Structure formats: structure tokens, C-alpha cells
Structure 1
Amino acid sequence: MWVVLVRASLMGSLREGSGNKPLQLNPSPAVRQAQARVRSMLQNLLIETRARYLGPAAQDPAPLSRPISAVRIQLGFPSPAEDFQDDEIDLNRVLVRNPAATYMYKAEGWSMLHEGICDGDILLVDRSVTAHDGDIVVASWDGNQPACKVLRVAVDHIELHSRNPHFQPIVLSPGTEVEVFAVVGVARQMRRGGGRGLF
């Protein structure tokens, strides 16, 4: 948000009944450009998180084994680490537990931001997992594009909640046909140079 400061000596001339015309402030091109950028960023935050279908998981992928260190990563103050390897993990097996029922979708939008799901993330959906109240799901109803939401099951209807205070819940009326699939994982490729963040 941009704040324009006016000198106190000018404020008196803006009082009602002073007889002077209102002060016209014309922001510089740099300020106008910054304001437009802020407006664009705020509009991007108000985009619902949709799920664009990417395809099924590979049925028999080649193992993608990578070394895993026995040293735990500290998220606070770093401590001296021991330099040794404990084991290997297969990333395919970690991310995809049931290949025949796993599908991938691309998240588009920011309505699930507070759940850690960002625009551009890959959602792993396992259609063999039964979704329960409070689960993160990909839902589709009435021919709408699938949306990523938090499932809330009421006595006579279903609600789909966002994890961003700027979005109202989607309340589906009783009798609405809806497909709901559990999101079992999220994959993200980090970009260097700050390209992943909101701004």
C-alpha cells in the first residue's frame, strides 16, 4: 500500500470551506508502476486454486533412488553435521504409493496458500483413498473445473473450504453430484533467485 505524505502547511488549504480547490497529487511514473504491480499481486492472491489434470502416474517407473543422510536437518539454528550416508530411498515409492490409482494435477491459484499449496505445485491424488472430513481433496461438481479444497462433510451437504481468508467456502446444495479424491502428496520444484515466492 502506498501512502502519499503532504506537508502540514498544505493541509490547512484542504479544510472544508477554505475556498481553495482540492490539491491534486499526480504520482510519478515509478509510483504508478509500483501501484499497478501491487494491484496485480493482490489480484493473483484472489485466484481460486484449481486443479489442472496432468495424467496418471507411471505404472512401473524405473527406480529413482537417491541417497538419504542419517543426519536430521535442523530448521532452526544450524548445528555441526556428521558427514555420512544412512540409506537410499526411491522417490517414486515415496511419492506414489498406489501407481494404478494415482493421478497428477497442477495447482493453479492461491486459495490453499495457508495449507502450503502454492500456484504451480503438483498434486498427487490417490483415487483408491477414501476422503474424510478435513482432508485436502480435488473436487469436481456440475461440470466445473476440479478445485483443490478442504473437504467439510455436514449432515445433508458438502462444503469445500479454502485455506486463505480471502475466499468464502463453497457450499454444495443437497443432492449435488460431486467427485472427491484425496490429495496424498504435493511436489514442488524450487526456483533459484526468489522466483517461487508470491512477489
Structure 2
Amino acid sequence: GYPPTVREIGKAVDLSSTSTVHGHLARLEKKGLILRDPTKPRAIELTPEGLEKIGIQPTTIPMLGVVTAGEPILAVEEASDFFPLPPDLRTEENALFMLTIRGESMINAGILDGDQVIVRKQSNANNGDIVIAMTDEDEATCKRFFREVDHIRLQPENDALAPILLDNVTILGKVVGLYRNHI
């Protein structure tokens, strides 16, 4: 959804004057509890200090770089930045990380080039799970996982691409969410 309008904030706290609401918002911003964008009237964001003030611990997850949804690439695990996670997605410490997708092998699953996937660290997967898998050559890829009789199939979600068949893979985690900051 959208942040509330000044009028909606006033109604929620039983204030009829929008200028009074503006004054309260200005004081909250001055105290460092919220951020506002003067060019966007509904752009109000709680800062980490603001979240703590109301009893919510801000959570961030490490952004570990790029993984392909195409041909596997060499995996390098190094946090390049941290992504703020909504409080309702909080989980045990160090259980989640984020990767940027490169390639188009997962487009039928709605995972596009440039998307960022939220991954829960785990070493096992069920058939049909979308996973981040590492091959014996230390190459990581995002694919749908299938354990078959004599091999593991990493299935792309793009009809133009063939599956990757391997004797063994290391599951780095299961994709549990997606963030897209482009259209």
C-alpha cells in the first residue's frame, strides 16, 4: 500500500488541523525518527531510530552480489551492502541473504534480469523448489531443483533453455522472496 496522507494521519490521531499534523511530522523528522521526501507528499519512512522507539528492531540482510539465471557463474560470497527487511519477514539471525539475478532463465517463474531474490540459507531442497545451487566447479545459479533417479536436474523456467544435469550440487539456499526496483 501507500503511506497515509496528512489528512488520514490527522483523522487517525483525532486532529482536524492539517497544519498541526505537519508540525508533528516536522518535529519527528527533526528528531531523526522519520524521513520525508519534500517532492512526494506521501513519502514518510520510519528510520531505524524510529523503529526502535516503537519497539521494533530494524533488520537488514546482506547483499552478496550476483547469481545467474542463465549460465552458471563463479560464486563469490562477500557482502556488498545490506538491504532493510520489513519487520514481518524477520527470521533467525543470519538465515537470509540477497542476490541480484543476471540472465533470463527464470522468467517464466517471474524472476527477471536485475531482480533481487531473498534467499533462506539451507542445504536441502524439495523437488520443485527454486534454489541457489553451486556446482562442483564453484559456479552458482538460480534454478528449479529436481532430484531424479541418477542425477540432479536444475531446471530453468524459460522454454528456450535446456536443464542442467549434474551428479552433485550444493544447495546454498531456497528463494523465499523477490524485490524488484525496476519496471
TM-score, length-scaled by structure 2: 0.52
Give the partner amino acid of 2:163: P
Q: Are 2:125 and 1:103 aligned?
A: no
Give the partner amino acid of 2:79: G
| C-alpha distance in 2 between matches for 1:163 and 1:141 | 18
Label 1:156 to 1:94 Cα distance change in 2 as closer, same or farther (>3 A): farther
Deviation of 1:100 after TM superposition, in Å, equals 1.4
Give the partner amino acid of 2:153: E
Label 1:124 to 1:181 Cα distance change in 2 as closer, same or farther (>3 A): same
Aligned to 1:152, which of 139, 146, 150?
146
| C-alpha distance in 2 between matches for 1:177 and 1:163 | 18
Superposition RMSD on alpha carbons, in Å?
2.9
1:48 corresponds in structure 2 to 70
Aligned to 1:185, which of 160, 177, 182?
177
Aligned to 2:134, which of 129, 132, 140?
140
| C-alpha distance in 1 between matches for 2:110 and 2:169 | 28
- Paired residue total: 113
More strand by share: 2
TM-score, length-scaled by structure 1: 0.48
Aligned to 1:168, which of 152, 162, 167?
162
| C-alpha distance in 1 between matches for 2:172 and 2:123 | 10
Label 1:186 to 1:136 Cα distance change in 2 as closer, same or farther (>3 A): same
Q: Which runs of 4+ in 1 moved over 4 A?
A: 49-54
Structure with larger RCO (C-alpha < 8 A, sep 6+): 1
Larger Rg: 1
Which segments of 5 or more consecutive residues in structure 2 lack a partner in the other structure? 1-68
